[in-house]
Structures are given as structure tokens and as C-alpha cells.
Amino acid sequence: MDFRFMRGIREYLDKNGFTGDTDLVSIAGAAKNLLASADPSSTATARLQIKLSHDLHGISRVILMNHLDCGAYGGRAAFASDEEEYSRHAEDLRSARASIVSEYPSTEVRLIIAKIDADGNVSFEEIDDRTS
């Protein structure tokens, strides 16, 4: 959703062979919308997008991507430290993955945190259960 990340996301899709084979959905707050604490209409919208991709295109993989300095989370200013911000995004991504897997058990769910530097360069970090 954040225009600052669009070029980087396109490059990520190209580099990983996802271009031309991906339903790209962008919702402010990303994984936050799949949490039990989310606004019910936001959760319904996010879940509908996954269901449509699953039912219409038989997806076997979901890539959830949050980015740091996300306005839906209150931006960087909402956190006491960079570590706290990162941890919150990682925790929300893991919770969102659990929610998706509970509904679509055979679906692989990858978790990505995108970062942007002062020059506008975007980098991506895949997290897993071993990453804190």
C-alpha cells in the first residue's frame, strides 16, 4: 500500500520468480488485519482476498509482508525502539500465519519484513520461528 515500497516489491517479485504467477494484494497494516484484535471488516477483507486466491487460482503459498515505519501501526514513533517495532511486526506476522494455516493447512506461509533506508532503498528479511 505504501508507495515507498512499490519498486522494491516489484524487484523482490522478479528476483524470486513470482512475477506473472502472483495475486498481489496490498492492504494497509498487512498482517495486522488477520489478527483477532483487528477491526472485523478489515479482517473480513483480508480473509476474502486469501479465499478468492485460494478458490480461483489454487494458491499453495502466501507471502505475508509487513514493513517497518507502517502508518497503520502508528509508524516508527509508536515504538520505544527499533527492536520493539521489529518484534511487534514479527509477532503479528507469526500470528497471522497461524490463522491462515488453521484455515488452509496445506498452504505454505512465508513471512517478510521490509525495511526502507533514508535513501529510499528497500530490503527484505524473511523471518521464521527461530528469528526473534
CATH code of the domain covering residue 123: 3.30.1330
Identify whether 132 is part of a domain: no
Identify whether 34 is part of a domain: yes
At residue 22, φ and ψ (nearest 5 deg) are -140, 135
pLDDT digits (tens, 9 = 90+) for 2-47: 899 999 999 999 999 998 888 999 998 999 999 988 789 999 999 9
pLDDT digits (tens, 9 = 90+) for 81-120: 999 999 999 999 999 999 999 999 999 999 999 999 999 9
**In the predicted model, what is the mean pLDDT of the chain?**
92
Give me the sign of the Cα torsion angle 94, 95, 100, 101: positive
**The model's pTM:** 0.90
Amino acid in position 103: E
Looking only at Cα atoms, what is the longest distance across the chain?
42
Identify whether 108 is part of a domain: yes
Domains in the chain, number: 1
Q: pLDDT band for 132, please (50, 70, 90 cuts).
A: very low
Domain of 41, in residue numbers: 3-127
Identify whether 78 is part of a domain: yes
- pLDDT at residue 101 in the model: 96
Asked if 107 and 59 touch (Cβ cutoff 8 Å), the reply is: yes
